[in-house]
Chains A and B, each alone.
Chain A
Amino acid sequence: MQSHLLSVIYLIGSVSFIIGMKMMGNAKTARKGNLVGAAGMGLAIVGTIVLFKGDVSPVIYGLILLAILIGTIIGWMTAKKVQMTKMPELVSIFNGMGGACAALISLIEFNHIKHTDHIIETVQNLIPVEPTSAGALFCMLAGLVIGSVSFSGSIIAFLKLNGTLDKPVRLPKYNIINTIFLIAVFAFSVYLFNVETPILIYVLFAMALLYGVMFVLPIGGADMPVVISLLNSFTGVAAAFGGFLYGNYVMLTGGILVGSAGTLLTVIMCEAMNRPLFNVIFGAFGGGAATSAIGDATKGTIKDISVSDTATLMNYSKRVVIVPGYGLAVAQAQHVIHELEIILEERGVEVKYAIHPVAGRMPGHMNVLLAESNVDYGKLVEMDDINPEFPNTDVVLVVGANDVVNPAAKTDPSSPIYGMPILDVENSKNIIINKRSMNAGYAGIDNLLFYNPKTSMLFGDAKKVLTELVAELKTM
């Protein structure tokens, strides 16, 4: 009876994951979808604990509940407190936790089968997996390797995003070294199939962890969203291998769903940046050496503009387009930019936001940040829709964005971002770029747009400058 009930619970859990994810694909139902998924997850967890058949000592129940309690408190607090700009880091770290969890399960189960005649119980008895069968062993090793790579890779991605590791570290011929090392990990896994020395599993564990580090370390910061998305799907696959091991359908559904959806999402992101996944992983990008060969002579000069001139210019414009970038979020200027938008609209100026697919640190990140400061959803215009409007735009205000407006992506084949679709701001009548300094963007490349005769630079911290701009506009 109990196990039948558990099967039903797992079925409900699986279906709720699918429905939840489907609902998350639509802005109207997205929040409910997330709750549906969470409810299914809660049900699966409670069901597993309550309906497990077999003698379990109260100590173990106590430990499980304690672990869940601590995890819930820490997870909840962190997720509630974190600033929205730190979101990508947080997703990365939570993803790493899941990977580590999958790897630990494999480690424990491997020790079980090697040390004792412990039998892996297939709780639902749907697919009896023999404890030492090649299938079970394969699932353990695969779960261990993928989970560990996802864990250490996510930690490196986290460190890169929060700026601790800001330069890509590349060994000479890192591609070849990484590939050889990956083959070594595979070969060692195969070797472990027939070996009776359980201690070697820790060697594989260490190798997989090291591979995760080596995999992410050479990849530049600008490509981190893609990496996180990829590692996200890795963890999904690792969870699915856990599902195979136990013949557990809810783990399988959740894992495979995330594995396939995550891979597709990764590909979509790559398309948005016009960078094939292969180039992200193996190609050189985001390195300091990427400064392309633009001679100083061809650059021209940079023109400054004052806050009051900017205010006047905007006040007498018909159409203004704001191009927000990550710099805006770092300066916490989302709210001020919304104020600017309101005051310009009051003066009869039409204001829109041009959102590049990879503005911010993840696709859609900028939308989340602007939504946080109550910017109207309908004012956020995607790249393909806003590009034809630039010739009719009087003023483009670029705040904290750089690479997504860099014309080198269209004109300079030697540029590392060559081929990436950009916002065609140079077609508008006036371009005002707010930047803190003349430093290159996240990808580390010079931007010819700054030297365009139509461009004026408005130097200063985004929040400070925009606040002054709003104050100035109010006096007009």
Chain B
Amino acid sequence: MENILSLFSENEQMIYFVILAVFVGIEVIGGVPSILHTPLMSGANAIHGVVIVGAIFVMLKSDPENYGTLLAGFIAVLLGTLNVVGGFVVTDRMLEMFKKK
């Protein structure tokens, strides 16, 4: 119990950040017409590709001799890039069609 409480106070700033960010996420989506749900889902899908930043960290920090980590990191960066690039490009393709009007 002591541990859990201290975890809260140590990360107080972070917890506030998370709560506020959750509300921003809800606010941003509120009132979106249903016709935009698919592009929005696809766009959100691209944005969580930001996890690639973590994969790049892993690579930057890894020991060049440690092939296992390098391989896993390489795959992580590759998958992250697929998520980011594929996500944004396909969202753009969808939204391009709405733009013509």
A41-B49, A72-B85 as given contacts; A245 in contact with B59, CB under 8 Å: no
- Cβ contact of A364, chosen from B35, B70, B99, cutoff 8 A: B35
Q: Which DSSP category, helix, strand, loop or mixed, fits chain B's interface?
A: helix
CA distance A127 to B9 in the complex (A): 12
Interface flags for A42-70 (1: CB within 8 Å of B; 0: not) read 00110011001010110110011011101
Task: Note all chain A residues with C-beta closer than 8 A to B78.
Answer: 67-68, 70-71
Interface string of B9-39 (1 = CB under 8 A from A): 0110110011001111110111111111111
CB distance from B94 to the nearest CB of A (A): 5
Contact with B along A226-242 (1 / 0, CB 8 A): 00110010011011101
Chain B residues within 8 Å of chain A by Cβ, number: 83
With a CB–CB cut-off of 8 A, which chain B residues contact A256? 18, 21-22, 25
Q: Which of A395-416 contact B (CB under 8 A)?
A: none
Map CB proximity to A onto B62-77 as digits: 1 under 8 Å, 0 otherwise: 1010001110111111
Interface check B7, CB cutoff 8 A:
yes
Most buried by B among A35, A54, A258, A268: A258
A102 within 8 A of B: yes
Q: Which residues of B contact A113 (CB under 8 A)?
A: none
The yes or no answer to A476 lying at the interface (CB within 8 A) is no
Name the residue of chain A whose CB is nearest to the CB of B97: A371
Interface size for chain A: under 10, 10 to 19, 20 to 34, or 35 or more residues?
Answer: 35 or more
**A87 near B90: Cβ-Cβ < 8 Å:** yes
Bound CA–CA A257/B74 (angstroms) = 26
A248 to B17, CA, bound (A): 12
B48 & A98 in contact (Cβ 8 Å cutoff): yes
Residues of A within 8 A of B44 (CB): 21, 232, 236, 257-258, 261-262, 265
On B, residues with C-beta under 8 Å from A are 3, 7, 10-11, 13-14, 17-18, 21-26, 28-62, 64, 68-70, 72-101
Give me 13 other A-B pairs in contact (C-beta within 8 A), A232-B45, A236-B48 excluded: A24-B95, A52-B57, A67-B81, A68-B77, A68-B78, A94-B86, A101-B76, A135-B11, A228-B41, A239-B51, A245-B54, A265-B41, A363-B34
Which residues of A does B touch, CB under 8 Å? 13, 17-18, 20-22, 24-27, 30-31, 33-35, 37-38, 41, 44-45, 48-49, 52, 54, 56-57, 59-60, 63-64, 66-68, 70-72, 74-76, 78-80, 82, 84, 87, 90-91, 94-95, 97-98, 100-102, 104-105, 107-109, 111-112, 118, 121, 123, 127, 134-135, 228-229, 232, 235-236, 238-240, 242-246, 248-262, 264-265, 268-269, 272, 355, 357, 360, 362-365, 367-368, 371-372, 374, 376-377, 380, 382
